[in-house]
Structure 1
Amino acid sequence: MNFASTTVAPSPTTTVLTVSQLNRNVRHLLETQLPALWLEGEVSNFARPGSGHWYLTLKDSQAQVRCAMFRGANQRVGFTPSNGQQVLVRCRAGLYEPRGEYQLVIEQMQEAGHGALQRQFEQLKQRLADEGLFASEHKRDMPEPIRRVGVITSPSGAAIHDILSVLGRRDPRIEVLIYPTAVQGESAPAAIIQAIETANWHGAADVLIVGRGGGSLEDLWAFNSEPLARALYASAIPTISAVGHESDFTIADFVADLRAPTPSAAAELISQDSAELVSYITALQRTLSSAMRRKLTTATTAVSYLRQRLRHPAQRLQQQAQRLDQLEQQLQRSQHRALQQRQQQLLQLYKRLQRVDPALRLQSLQSRLAQQQQRLNRAIAQQLKQQRNSLQRQLQLLDAVSPLKVLERGYAVVLANGAAVVDSGDVGAGDKLTIKLHRGQIAATVTDNS
């Protein structure tokens, strides 16, 4: 048995697409036919490559879808998502053509539910702190005494009843001014701001309590309003924030001048317990009485001491007169000593003046000059005498060795040609000689020189 194969071939007019063309057309249909939508789901498979784009999967209990959020869009998100986190996204459907995978392109992202509110709270808290709205130097002390307190809260809530109960029990003298307002819902922040402005306009309250009873984060969200925070900061009346329970914190708690953990605690902070006040006054009375007794005892002792020291005026005058005589004598002695010292100083100065008198000094110099002149004359005469004696000795010595003295004793000097003849061999026969005697000279001729 033969089976014929049936094959259908495209006709010449049939359009044949490539895979790329198919994916492109599908992407175009998804992007044009399916508008932008909001989607809530759990993050999984979160990836953040070096390009800065985000890739993740959004899922619920029954399905999942791949998503991409490009860098230009994710830079506007105030947090980085993590696996398991619930998020709310605004996205468009699309197709990743290279793999033919259906995906969502996310344009906006925010935390879903309580997480989103908590992040808004932290962001506003940080921004207002940076502006200085929480700074301690802007916090004002509570006035003393407090006579009137303004309460801004719901007139039917538990907070107003707790405040009135505590004040009535502790300090009934405090007057309470109630500024009723909504404390929950979208209109609550504006209503609370209006109540704060009204209380400031009246100016009757010494302090304002702004608060409500406990609740969820959403219930207390009105007190996380930025305009309300700025209204509290601008209030001319000191403010106390009393919102929720002790574990609840709102932006109003950080801006107000004082935070009370509960409305009841706020009432306790501004009031004094009557019993404690009575006890305090009694203790003050005992302290005052004791102080007065000590003061009286001290004054009595002082009066007794002064009475013992008190003397009759006449006796005191005699003592003063005697003291005056002593002082007069001391003054005279002091003046006498001072006069002697002055005279001694004057005498010393006179002697010093005499020593430097020009006339006396000139006379002394002239006397010294005469003495020096005499000494000089004596020295010159002595020197001349010594020189004469020395010259005389030299003359005598010269005279003793003089040739003339030898000639006086009969000796003669024989000269030949003007030179003395000391050797007979120096002359010959016929030489002319001159014989010099003591008186005169003789000419002779040598006949023999043997």
Structure 2
Amino acid sequence: MPAPPAENVLSPSQLNALARSLLEDAFPVVVVEGELGNLSRPASGHLYFTLKDARAQVRCALFRSRSQGLRFQPREGLRVLARGRLTLYEARGDYQLILDSLEEAGEGALRRAFDELKAKLQAEGLFDDARKRPLPAYARRLGIITSPSGAAVRDVLSVLARRFPLVEADVLPVPVQGDAAAAQIRGMLERAAVSGRYDVLVLARGGGSLEDLWAFNDEALARAIAACEVPVVSAVGHETDFTLADFAADLRAPTPSVAAELVVPNAVDVGTRVRGLQQRLGALHLQRMRDRMQRADRASLRLQALAPQARLSALGERQLQALRRLHSAWQARDAALRARLRHADAVLRATRPERRLAVLRERLAALGPRPQAAVARRLQADTLRLRGLARSLQAVSPLATVARGYAILQHDDGRVVRGTGDVAPGDRLSARVGDGKLRLRVEPGDS
């Protein structure tokens, strides 16, 4: 075979330089998704690895200036998105990617976005327990924001019907998955809160992947839940699933069925509590009646101890003494007035002031009736006071009670009969009524 012209013969370095130029011109920027393998981070801080799938792999390099800004920890087997320039390392002839950025792919990226948004909202205090409100003990109406065709709504309605059939539950239909789901859920939540119809709102959805539940990780939805004036219960996914709606809600339930159990009481427990309250009310009423009866008994004993007859006698004596003092005072006043008149008459007779005679006669005529009027007023006031005292005595007198139709039973020796246990068949009793006494005998069977 003839030798090629000298100008067509390439050295390895020339060949690699030409290949590098062709690669970089043909592929200025590429994005490759694959699985990390052969991960190496030498002391230089650069990151070397391969991106592979089931049938091929490509070598990659992420230099220190780029690797320091990574928001995740690269590890073997992690699926990533790599963005960079395709080139060829001339010294070894290795085909490789020089990367500008590296990020997690699929659910890993979603998880990182979830963690970042959660940290942001938590720093704002959106998830603080202090701003969360307790659920009402007995909710009358529930708004269940969920898909009307999902299993979650059937579970919630079944538990509500079993535990507390009195509650009214409205299903507020929304999509729970997809790009438009978050906005529609938020709109339904805000309309339900403004309506003033519901005591509690429940966000319900069955389980799924992080991507399936992503509508409940929407930032605007989380803020709407936190600002909602009606208590919100989040029941999204299974027990191990957590969304931002769970953290923003006033209460997080691990499943929709558990949410239904949390928002309504158990009818059996309510019935037991009502019966217990009825028993307590009856016991309190009985105790209060006993207390009132004891107070009446003590009042009766005090009345007997006060001996109203003795008090009446004492008041009568006080009345007589008051009348005597009044009569004495009247006589003294009358004598004084008469003495003054006699003195005046003597003065007049001694001086004979003819020109003052008419004036003195008029004064005498005016002073004459005043003592009697004063005595009359005093007697009238004392009489009114005595009548008041008599009415007070009459009010506390057992005789007044008898006059109203009651009777006082007594043995012959004066002992008062207070109950059936104080008498025996054949006993002789006297019954004091309003106008006298009756003689009685206890017959067998009366007690």
Q: Same fold (TM over 0.5)?
A: yes
Indicate which of 25, 30, 34 corresponds to 2:27: 34
Q: Would the aligned equivalents of 1:177 and 1:205 in 2 still touch at CA under 8 Å? A: no
Instruction: Identify the match of residue 234 of structure 1 among 224, 227, 231.
Output: 227
User: Counterpart in 2 of 1:433?
Assistant: none
Distance change (3 Å), C-alpha of 1:316 and 1:145 = farther
Which residue is equivalent to 1:138? 131
Q: CA RMSD in A?
A: 2.7
- Choose the corresponding residue for 2:71, options 67, 78, 95: 78
Between the aligned partners of 2:11 and 2:3, the Cα distance in structure 1 is 19
Counterpart of 2:46 in structure 1 is 53
The 5 A counterparts of 1:179-328 are 179-310=172-303, 311-312=306-307
Percent identical = 49
Secondary structure of the 1:216 match is: coil
Match of 1:163 among 152, 156, 162: 156
Q: Which structure's CA Rg is the greater one?
A: 1
C-alpha distance in structure 1 between counterparts of 2:79 and 2:10, whole Å: 41
Q: Tell me the distance in 1 between the aligned counterparts of 2:262 and 2:222.
A: 22
Distance 1:298 1:98 in 2: 107
Rounded to whole Å, the distance in 2 between the matches of 1:215 and 1:43 is 26
- Superposed CA deviations along residues 115-169 of structure 1, whole A, max 9, x for unmatched, are 3333332222222222211111111111343221111111111222222222223
Hey, what's the Cα distance between the residues in 1 that align with 2:44 and 2:14? 27
Measured at CA, do residues 278 and 76 of structure 1 come closer, stay the same or move farther in structure 2, by a change above 3 Å?
A: same
Question: Aligned pair in 2 of structure 1 residues 253, 156: CA closer, same or farther (>3 Å)?
Answer: same
1:8 is the counterpart of 2:3: yes
User: How far apart, in 1, do the equivalents of 2:150 and 2:229 lie?
Assistant: 26
Question: Equivalent of 2:121, from 128, 131, 148?
Answer: 128
**Conserved? CA contact 2:138–2:264, under 8 Å:** no
- Residue by residue over 1:201-239, the C-alpha shift from the partner in whole angstroms, topping out at 9 and shown as x without a partner, is 322211111121222332222112222111211212111
Task: Give the SS at the match of 2:38.
Answer: strand
**Contact 1:53-1:71 within 8 A present in 2 as well:** yes
Provide the C-alpha distance between the structure 1 equivalents of 2:272 and 2:4, rounded to a whole number of angstroms: 110
In structure 2, stretches of 5+ residues that fail to align are 316-447
CA positional deviation for 1:191: 1.2
Q: Which one of the candidate residues 69, 80, 95 is aligned to 1:87?
A: 80
Looking at structure 1, the residues matched to 68 and 218 of structure 2 have their Cα atoms a distance apart, in angstroms, of 25
Aligned length: 314
> In structure 2, the residue corresponding to 1:214 is in which secondary structure?
coil
Q: CA deviation at 1:19?
A: 4.2
TM-score by length of 1: 0.64
One-letter identity of the residue aligned with 2:184: A
Q: What SS is found at the alignment partner of 1:42?
A: strand
Question: Contact between 1:47 and 1:56, CA under 8 Å: does it hold in 2?
Answer: yes
Amino acid at match of 1:186: D
Output the CA distance in 2 between the equivalents of 1:67 and 1:40: 12
TM-score, L = length of structure 2: 0.64
For 1:418-433, list aligned pairs within 5 A: none
Query: 2-side partners of 1:72 and 1:197: how far apart?
Result: 47
Describe the SS at the equivalent of 1:25: helix
Q: Give the structure 1 partner of residue 140 of structure 2.
A: 147
Maintained 8 Å contact 2:172/2:188: yes
Aligned mates of 2:232, 2:47 — CA distance in 1: 46
SS at match of 1:49: coil
Query: In structure 2, do the counterparts of structure 1 residues 215 and 307 end up closer, same or farther at CA, with 3 Å as the change threshold?
Result: same
What residue number does 1:44 align with?
37
Aligned to 1:172: 165
Q: 1:282 to 1:236 in 2, by over 3 A?
A: same
Q: Distance in 1 between matches of 2:152 and 2:105?
A: 31
Deviation at residue 30 of structure 1 after TM alignment: 0.8
Question: AA paired with 1:114?
Answer: E
Q: Report the AA paired with residue 208 of structure 2.
A: G
For 2:219 and 2:45, the matched residues in 1 are separated by 33
1:430 matched residue in structure 2 = none
Distance 2:300 2:215 in 1: 77
Q: Quote the Cα distance in structure 2 between the aligned partners of 1:269 and 1:316.
A: 70
> 1:124, 1:62 → 2: CA distance?
37
Measure, in 2, the Cα distance between the counterparts of 1:76 and 1:314.
107
Instruction: Read off the aligned partner of 1:192 and give its amino acid letter.
Output: I
Aligned to 2:334: none
What is the alpha-carbon distance in structure 2 between the residues aligned to residue 137 and residue 245 of structure 1? 26
Quick check: 1:114 aligned with 2:107? yes
Contact 2:153 2:204 in 1 (8 A): no
Distance of 1:64 and 1:29 partners within structure 2: 21
Which amino acid in structure 2 is aligned with residue 8 of structure 1?
A
Show structure 1 runs of 5+ residues with no match. Answer: 1-5, 320-450
Deviations along 1:355-396, one digit per CA (max 9) or x if unpaired, are xxxxxxxxxxxxxxxxxxxxxxxxxxxxxxxxxxxxxxxxxx
Pairwise CA distance, 1:102 = 1.3
Shift of 1:32: 1.1
For 1:62 and 1:95, locate their aligned partners in 2 and report how far apart those are by CA, in whole Å: 21
The secondary structure found in structure 2 opposite 1:233 is helix
Offset at 1:195? 0.8
CA-to-partner distance for each residue in 1:255-279, whole Å, 9 max, x for gaps? Answer: 1001112222222212122232222
Distance 1:312 1:25 in 2: 134
Which amino acid counterpart does residue 146 of structure 1 have in structure 2?
A
- C-alpha distance in 1 between matches for 2:85 and 2:141: 59
Q: Contact 2:138/2:265 (CA < 8 Å) preserved in 1? A: no
